[in-house]
């Protein structure tokens, strides 16, 4: 087959296809090429050929060349909707045209006003070859060379050294992602190559997926440790492969929700149990705890019928237009909801927006439409095929993502004007919602005030609906099995989402006991909320500061509502994640300033960038490391990239009012690191014209720093103990290791003795000592930490009211006794057992209600 040269059919600006605001073109689903932002109003033939497609609407034209290739010219985006208005065909179907012949005259002003975009894709469709030259990101005139195409063999041999541009590249990699290619990494993979021109696909176990489609990538079903082959062809194929490999071989960064206090870690799945056949009086169903809590209420059964739709289409153009319209409506609604959402709700919306734009779903839907089906039928068929593929993977995480797809299906079908599902918002007060499945959009449309609990036949603890329920504080059980939906409307239920049980129509005595428990819980929460805004002191008046760990402005706002007395740790790395490039100095400053303002003058401890280890950043590749947890992490990375450190310091030093912020350094192991950063601070202060000093603290999160705490305390202004890393490095157990998770307990006496040593050194030198690791939010640990000499706890925002309430019931003397006893124990379990011991038995706090409440009670 001969090569083909395409000449520009328009004068204008040649633009990469990715910039076309339509996933079908941007994702190269129809073919490869460029898009032109036109200046003229006549479309000319880019090559010789026969007109094989010229719709009535005259907004596009396809030529078939002598090579048998098809060249599609599409004037603007969404222009089919103009119904032919503004377009005049100058040729007719079947006509042969020569290069440079005028094809269509069009009204550019009308297009500019009425079309989604005037960008005009010029595409080579099919043919099995590849583009070997592409003139883009520059002005073009009619008739100048725009694209060169060559059949695959010719491209591989390549005239004039251009072959490499179209060469196919392959690389096999092992997937290091902790949970394989599930929803988030799939979205990150698609994003990683968004700016590339190469065609990239992933292949595994005989299946293949377009790397630009998160849905297709998920359906590959690749798990951690599995192998995939990356194939890429196109000018930047080699770099595209690198980008994909970087995502596949990196450990997964924490998600906002995994670090957010709003979404507590779901309880582990309960062992399967044979469910009773009936749901009669006194029956108990067991499920998986998705959101902890306890409730008594009446069953409100949600039965959702499928949205009815017609199968036959009313013409390809009409149905394509309809689907576009419905998707645009859903997109607009989601975007509007996103602007007012935060935390998990915002994440769900983001996920839905991503799925709505997924090229795989679009192609499949358009394919059904081309086969004569209606838009609704096509959309449902595309979604259901992906749902089926995800469910067939036998991976609960993937099956949970199927809920998001079904949700999106329903939203688009409703927008198409199909029959509306029964309303789900009319709930009686105190309702326990029973459903086969609940979709995120349904949950957010419910009146949370009336919802006492949720019980689902299906679902998983990490599904989006579970995360939303946990964030809203609604107790929820999932995976209760199909019998749950047989419960009669209005039946009395006791939902124990601590023990994972649903009691159906219990006797009066149990209802009474449950109501008493609820009222105790409510009273306790009310007390805690009241206490939360007060200054925190022990029962005998010792001041303990309870601050919050933050990752964002939304966290800061939540923390303030929960009574935070400032921020003890701002994990600034979360500003750097999920982006293509580092935030600028100005962006950083603005974000820190917003957080400072949200804290209303209370202290803001800004930790310098702590990346590396389990928090990699794609656009900041670190040198290849055998063991990243022991490599360039925390302050080491900052001293390796001093440019980033200096920018960050300047951004912090300019936050107003001067004196609200202090700086905290992660992963310190010797005093020289502290001195070097102090020198940078002095220089940065000079640059921004700041004369006031700023407090500089170090994190004690390596055994080395705890052991030299005396030396560090001479020069550091304060200490903050990072028990997460201190435990990992003391016990030599990876903090992300699933098999070791149960043993990775910061109450291990070895860790406690390093904390004790740190606190003693801090006191000797008159320095403050805080704990900002996860241990600070653990009610069992709080009294022990206080007893060891810690005077500041920086907790997850949601834990603040209960931690403050607990501290208010303790005396310092009790805490000290408790701490002494903890240091003498032989294991973390033994330390934990102290808190469960009845008062007096261990000589432990008697007046404080005897013991620290267990997590379940708090």
DSSP state, residue 625: -
Phi, psi (degrees; rounded to nearest 5) at 7: -100, 155
Q: What is the DSSP string of 520-579?
A: HHHHHHHHHHHHHTSPPB-TT--B-EEEEEESSHHHHHHHHHTT--SEEEEETHHHHSSS
Toward ligand PEP, which CB reaches closer, 106 or 729?
Answer: 729
- Closest distance to ligand PEP from the beta carbon of 40 (Å): 57
- Closest distance to ligand PEP from the beta carbon of 550 (Å): 11
- Closest distance to ligand PEP from the beta carbon of 246 (Å): 22
Should residue 555 be labelled a site residue for ligand PEP when binding is judged by CB under 6 A?
Answer: no
Toward Mg ion, which CB reaches closer, 613 or 779?
Answer: 613
Distance between CA atoms of residues 632 and 345, nearest Å: 34
- Closest distance to ligand PEP from the beta carbon of 723 (Å): 5
Distance between CA atoms of residues 38 and 34, nearest Å: 12
Toward Mg ion, which CB reaches closer, 177 or 667?
Answer: 667
Should residue 610 be labelled a site residue for ligand PEP when binding is judged by CB under 6 A?
Answer: yes
Distance between CA atoms of residues 400 and 394, nearest Å: 11
Q: What is the x/- site pattern for ligand PEP, positions 817-836, by CB under 6 A? A: --------------------
Pick from 596, 591, 586: which is nearest to 560 by CA?
596
Toward ligand PEP, which CB reaches closer, 571 or 662?
Answer: 571
DSSP state, residue 746: T
Should residue 637 be labelled a site residue for ligand PEP when binding is judged by CB under 6 A?
Answer: no
Could you say which of ligand PEP, Mg ion, none residue 319 binds, taking C-beta under 5 to 8 angstroms by partner kind? none
- Closest distance to ligand PEP from the beta carbon of 373 (Å): 51
8 Å CB contact between 446 and 424: yes
- Closest distance to ligand PEP from the beta carbon of 466 (Å): 24
Distance between CA atoms of residues 148 and 142, nearest Å: 16
Residue 200 pairs with which residues in a beta bridge? 232
- Closest distance to Mg ion from the beta carbon of 668 (Å): 11
Could you say which of ligand PEP, Mg ion, none residue 533 binds, taking C-beta under 5 to 8 angstroms by partner kind? none
Collapse the DSSP code of 645 into the 3-class scheme (helix H, G, I; strand E, B; otherwise coil) and give the result: helix
In the block, residue with structure tokens 């006509």: 95
How many angstroms from the chain centroid is the CA of residue 564? Answer: 25
Token pair, residue 253, equals 């960064």
Toward Mg ion, which CB reaches closer, 418 or 773?
Answer: 773
ω before 825 within 30° of 0 (cis)? no
Question: Which residue out of 47, 567, 772, 815 is catalytically annotated?
Answer: 772
Toward ligand PEP, which CB reaches closer, 348 or 772?
Answer: 772
Q: In what order do the strands lie in the sheet with 102-106?
A: 42-44, 102-106, 87-89
Could you say which of Mg ion, ligand PEP, none residue 148 binds, taking C-beta under 5 to 8 angstroms by partner kind? none
Could you say which of ligand PEP, Mg ion, none residue 731 binds, taking C-beta under 5 to 8 angstroms by partner kind? none
Q: Which residues contact Mg ion (rule: CB under 5 A)?
A: 701, 722, 725
Toward ligand PEP, which CB reaches closer, 166 or 613?
Answer: 613
Could you say which of ligand PEP, Mg ion, none residue 49 binds, taking C-beta under 5 to 8 angstroms by partner kind? none
Token pair, residue 750, equals 């070895």
Q: Which residues from 291-350 bind ligand PEP, rule CB under 6 A? A: none
Distance between CA atoms of residues 270 and 272, nearest Å: 6
Could you say which of ligand PEP, Mg ion, none residue 772 binds, taking C-beta under 5 to 8 angstroms by partner kind? ligand PEP
Question: Which residue out of 352, 464, 589, 748 is catalytically annotated?
Answer: 464
- Spell out the alpha helix ranges (H) of 357-374: 359-370
Q: Which residues from 720-759 bind ligand PEP, rule CB under 6 A? A: 722-725
Could you say which of ligand PEP, Mg ion, none residue 129 binds, taking C-beta under 5 to 8 angstroms by partner kind? none
- Closest distance to ligand PEP from the beta carbon of 662 (Å): 15
Distance between CA atoms of residues 646 and 639, nearest Å: 10
Toward ligand PEP, which CB reaches closer, 148 or 610?
Answer: 610
Toward ligand PEP, which CB reaches closer, 725 or 792?
Answer: 725
Distance between CA atoms of residues 747 and 760, nearest Å: 18
Residue 302 pairs with which residues in a beta bridge? 435
Distance between CA atoms of residues 737 and 835, nearest Å: 27
Q: What is the x/- site pattern for ligand PEP, positions 678-717, by CB under 6 A? A: -----------------------x----------------
Give the 3-state DSSP-derived string for 295-353, with helices as H, strands as E and coil as C.
EEEEEEEECCCCCCCCCECCCHHHHHHHHHHHHHHHHHHHHHHHHCCCHHHHHHHHHHH
Toward Mg ion, which CB reaches closer, 497 or 667?
Answer: 667
- Closest distance to ligand PEP from the beta carbon of 491 (Å): 45
- Closest distance to ligand PEP from the beta carbon of 773 (Å): 3
DSSP state, residue 450: G
Toward Mg ion, which CB reaches closer, 358 or 725?
Answer: 725
* Residue ranges of E strands in 701-779: 718-721, 768-771
Q: Which residues from 756-785 bind ligand PEP, rule CB under 6 A? A: 772-773
8 Å CB contact between 198 and 159: no
Distance between CA atoms of residues 436 and 106, nearest Å: 53
Collapse the DSSP code of 284 into the 3-class scheme (helix H, G, I; strand E, B; otherwise coil) and give the result: strand
Collapse the DSSP code of 377 into the 3-class scheme (helix H, G, I; strand E, B; otherwise coil) and give the result: helix
Residue 97 pairs with which residues in a beta bridge? 49
Binding part of the chain for ligand PEP, among 6-14, 262-270, 345-353, 718-726 by CB under 6 A, reads 718-726
Q: Is 182 a catalytic residue?
A: no
| Residues 504, 507, 510, 511, Cα dihedral to 10° | 80
Pick from 33, 396, 77: which is nearest to 199 by CA?
33
- Closest distance to ligand PEP from the beta carbon of 701 (Å): 5
Toward ligand PEP, which CB reaches closer, 411 or 705?
Answer: 705
- Closest distance to Mg ion from the beta carbon of 133 (Å): 50
Q: With contacts defined by CB under 6 A, how many residues of the chain interact with ligand PEP?
A: 10
Distance between CA atoms of residues 834 and 13, nearest Å: 73
Distance between CA atoms of residues 592 and 609, nearest Å: 13
Q: Which residue among 360, 464, 571, 851 contacts ligand PEP (CB under 6 A)?
A: 571
8 Å CB contact between 140 and 13: yes
- Closest distance to ligand PEP from the beta carbon of 311 (Å): 53
Toward Mg ion, which CB reaches closer, 291 or 702?
Answer: 702
Distance between CA atoms of residues 541 and 580, nearest Å: 49
Neighbours of 417 (CB within 10 A): 14
Q: Is 464 a catalytic residue?
A: yes
Residue 297 pairs with which residues in a beta bridge? 493
Mind telling me the catalytic residues?
A: 464, 772
Q: Which residues bind ligand PEP (CB under 6 A)?
A: 569, 571, 610, 701, 722-725, 772-773
């Amino acid at each position: 087959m001969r090569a083909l040269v395409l000449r520009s059919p328009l004068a204008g600006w040649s633009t990469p296809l990715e910039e076309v605001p339509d996933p079908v073109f941007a994702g190269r689903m129809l073919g490869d090429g460029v898009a032109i932002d036109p200046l003229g109003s006549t479309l000319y033939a880019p090559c010789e050929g026969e007109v094989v497609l010229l719709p009535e609407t005259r907004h596009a034209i396809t030529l078939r060349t002598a090579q048998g290739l098809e060249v599609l010219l599409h004037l603007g985006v969404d222009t089919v909707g103009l119904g032919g208005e503004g377009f005049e065909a100058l040729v007719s179907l079947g006509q042969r045209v020569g290069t440079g012949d005028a094809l269509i005259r069009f009204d550019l002003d009308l297009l500019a006003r009425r079309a989604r975009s005037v960008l005009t894709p010029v595409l080579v469709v099919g043919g099995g070859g590849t583009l070997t030259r592409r003139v883009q990101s520059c002005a073009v005139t009619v008739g100048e060379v725009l694209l060169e195409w060559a059949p695959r063999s010719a491209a591989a041999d390549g005239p004039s050294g251009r072959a490499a541009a179209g060469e196919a590249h392959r690389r096999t990699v092992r997937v290091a992602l902790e949970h394989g290619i599930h929803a988030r990494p799939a979205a990150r993979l698609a994003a990683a190559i968004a700016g590339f021109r190469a065609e990239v696909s992933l292949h595994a176990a005989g299946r293949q997926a377009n790397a630009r489609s998160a849905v297709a990538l998920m359906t590959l079903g690749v798990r951690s440790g599995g192998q995939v082959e990356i194939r890429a062809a196109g000018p930047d194929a080699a770099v595209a492969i690198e980008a994909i490999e970087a995502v596949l071989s990196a450990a997964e960064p924490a998600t906002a929700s995994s670090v957010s206090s709003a979404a507590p870690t779901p309880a582990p799945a309960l062992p399967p149990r044979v469910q009773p056949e009936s749901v009669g009086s006194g029956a108990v169903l067991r499920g998986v705890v998705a959101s902890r809590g306890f409730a008594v209420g009446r069953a409100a059964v949600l039965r959702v019928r499928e949205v009815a739709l017609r199968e036959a289409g009313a013409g390809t153009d009409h149905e394509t237009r309809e689907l576009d319209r419905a998707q645009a409506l859903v997109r607009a609604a989601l975007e509007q909801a996103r602007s007012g959402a935060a935390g998990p709700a915002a994440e769900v919306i983001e996920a839905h927006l991503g799925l709505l734009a997924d090229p795989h779903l679009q192609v499949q839907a358009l394919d059904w439409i081309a086969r004569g089906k209606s838009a609704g039928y096509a959309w449902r068929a595309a979604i259901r095929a992906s749902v089926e593929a995800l469910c067939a993977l036998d991976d609960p995480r993937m099956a949970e993502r199927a809920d998001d797809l079904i949700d999106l299906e329903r939203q688009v079908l409703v927008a198409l004007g199909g029959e509306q599902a029964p309303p789900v918002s009319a709930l009686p007060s105190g309702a326990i919602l029973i459903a086969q499945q609940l979709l995120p959009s349904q949950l957010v449309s419910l009146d949370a005030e009336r919802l006492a609990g949720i019980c689902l036949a299906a679902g998983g603890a990490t599904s989006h609906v579970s995360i939303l329920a946990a964030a809203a504080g609604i107790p929820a059980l999932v995976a209760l099995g199909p019998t749950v939906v047989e419960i009669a409307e209005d039946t009395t239920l006791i939902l124990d989402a601590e023990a994972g049980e649903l009691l159906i129509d219990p006797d009066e005595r149990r209802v009474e006991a449950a109501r008493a428990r609820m009222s105790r819980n409510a009273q306790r929460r009310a007390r805690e909320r009241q206490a939360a805004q007060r200054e925190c002191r022990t029962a005998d008046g010792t001041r303990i500061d309870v601050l919050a760990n933050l990752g964002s402005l939304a966290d800061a706002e939540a923390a303030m509502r929960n009574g935070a007395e400032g921020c003890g740790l701002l994990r600034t790395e979360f500003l750097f994640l999920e982006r293509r490039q580092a935030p600028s100095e100005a962006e950083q400053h603005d974000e820190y300033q917003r957080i400072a303002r949200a804290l209303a003058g209370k202290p803001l401890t800004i930790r310098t960038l702590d990346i590396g280890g389990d928090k990699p950043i794609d656009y900041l590749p670190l040198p290849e490391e055998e063991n990243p947890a022991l490599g360039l992490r925390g302050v080491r990375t900052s001293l390796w990239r001093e440019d980033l450190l200096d920018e960050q310091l300047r951004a912090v030093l300019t936050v107003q009012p001067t004196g609200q912020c202090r700086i905290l350094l992660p992963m310190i192991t010797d005093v020289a690191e502290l001195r070097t950063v102090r020198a940078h601070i002095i220089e940065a202060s000079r640059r921004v014209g700041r004369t006031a000093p700023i407090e500089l603290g170090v994190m004690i999160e390596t055994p080395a720093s705890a052991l030299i705490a005396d030396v560090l305390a001479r020069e550091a202004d304060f200490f903050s103990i990072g028990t997460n890393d201190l435990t990992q490095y003391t016990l030599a157990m990876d903090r992300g290791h699933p098999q070791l998770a149960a043993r990775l307990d910061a109450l291990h006496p070895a860790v406690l003795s390093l904390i004790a040593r740190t606190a003693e050194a801090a006191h000797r030198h008159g320095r403050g000592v805080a704990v900002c690791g996860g241990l600070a939010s653990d009610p069992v640990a709080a009294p022990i930490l206080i007893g060891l000499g810690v005077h500041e706890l920086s907790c997850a925002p949601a834990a603040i009211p209960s931690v403050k309430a607990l501290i208010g019931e303790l005396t310092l003397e009790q805490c000290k006794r408790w701490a002494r006893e903890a240091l003498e124990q032989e294991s973390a379990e033994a330390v934990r057992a102290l808190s469960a011991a009845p008062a007096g038995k261990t000589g432990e706090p008697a007046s404080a209600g005897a013991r620290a409440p267990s997590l379940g009670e708090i």
